[in-house]
Amino acid sequence: MKVALRLVILVASLLLVTNVVFAQTPAPVCQGELFCYNITATDENSNTNNDNWVVCLVSDIGVGWLYSYNADAYYDLYLFGGGPGWFNTSGGPGFANGDPNYTSWIAYGANESGFLQPIGEGSSKGALLTGEGVHIGGNTRYTIQGKKVPCKIAAPD
Amino acid sequence: MKVMFRLAILVAALLLVTNIAFAAPICDEHVCYNVLFTAENGSSHTEGWDVCLNHDGTGTLNTVTPLALFGDGPIWCGFDAHPKWTKWIMHSPAISGEISTDIFGVSLWGEGYITAANSRFIVQGLKRVPCL
Which of A100, A142, A19 minimizes the C-alpha distance to B70? A142
Point out the residue among B74, B78, B91 whose CB comes nearest to the CB of A113. B91
Per-residue pLDDT reduced to its tens digit, B63-76? 999 999 999 877 78
Chain B nearest-CA distance from A122, in A, is 14
Asked if the model's pLDDT at residue A54 lies above 50, the reply is yes
Residue A15: predicted pLDDT? 46
Q: Which fold has domain B27-127?
A: Lipocalin (2.40.128)
Beta carbons of A62 and B98 less than 8 Å apart: no
3-state secondary structure of A37: strand
Long-range contacts of A77-83 (CB under 8 A, 24+ apart): A77/A105, A77/A106, A77/A107, A77/A116, A78/A105, A78/A106, A78/A108, A78/B96, A78/B111, A78/B112, A78/B113, A78/B120, A79/A104, A79/A105, A79/A124, A79/B120, A80/A104, A80/A105, A80/A106, A80/B111, A80/B120, A80/B122, A83/A117, A83/B74
Q: Give the confidence band of A122 by pLDDT, cuts at 50, 70, 90.
A: low
pLDDT-based confidence at A156, cuts 50/70/90?
A: low
Q: How much is the average pLDDT of B78-100?
A: 95
In three-state secondary structure terms, A7 is helix
DSSP A98-135: TEE---EEEEEETTEEEEEEEESTTSTT-SEEEEEEEE
Specify burial of residue A140 (Cβ count, 10 A radius: 0-12, 13-18, 19+): middle
* Predicted pLDDT of residue B20: 46
Q: Which CATH architecture has domain A31-149?
A: Beta Barrel (2.40)
Residue B90 with chain A: CB contacts under 8 Å: 113
Task: Show me where the domains of chain A are located.
Answer: 31-149
Q: A54 to chain B, minimum CA–CA distance in Å? A: 21
Using a CB-CB cut-off of 8 Å, the residues of chain B touching A105 are: none
Mean pLDDT within B38-47: 97
User: Rg of the Cα trace of chain B?
Assistant: 19
Mean predicted lDDT score pLDDT of chain A: 82
Chain B hits for A134, CB-CB cut-off 8 Å, are 68, 89, 91
Position B26, amino acid: I
The answer to whether A114 contacts B89, with C-beta atoms less than 8 Å apart, is yes
Distance of residue A108 Cα from the nearest chain B Cα, in angstroms = 7
| Residue B85 DSSP label | -
The pLDDT of residue A16 is: 44
**From the list B69, B74, B113, which residue is nearest A108 (CB)?**
B113
Contacts of A44 in chain B (CB under 8 A): 57, 79
Contact check, Cβ <8 Å, A44/B76: no
Give residue B100's Cα distance to chain centre.
13
For residue range A62-115, what is the model confidence (pLDDT) as tens digits?
999 999 999 999 999 999 998 777 889 988 887 767 778 898 999 999 899 999
Give CB contacts under 8 A, 24+ apart, made by B35-38: B35/B108, B35/B123, B35/B124, B35/B125, B36/B123, B36/B124, B36/B125, B37/B121, B37/B122, B37/B123, B38/B121, B38/B122, B38/B123
Is A115's CB within 8 Å of B79's CB? no
- Cβ contact, residue pair B120, A78, below 8 Å: yes
Collapsed DSSP state (helix, strand, coil) of residue B21: helix
Residues of A with CB under 8 A from a CB of B: 44, 62, 76, 78-80, 83-89, 104, 106, 108, 113-115, 117, 119, 130, 132-134, 136, 139, 141, 143
CA distance A136 to chain B (A): 7
For the question of an ipTM over 0.85, the answer is: no
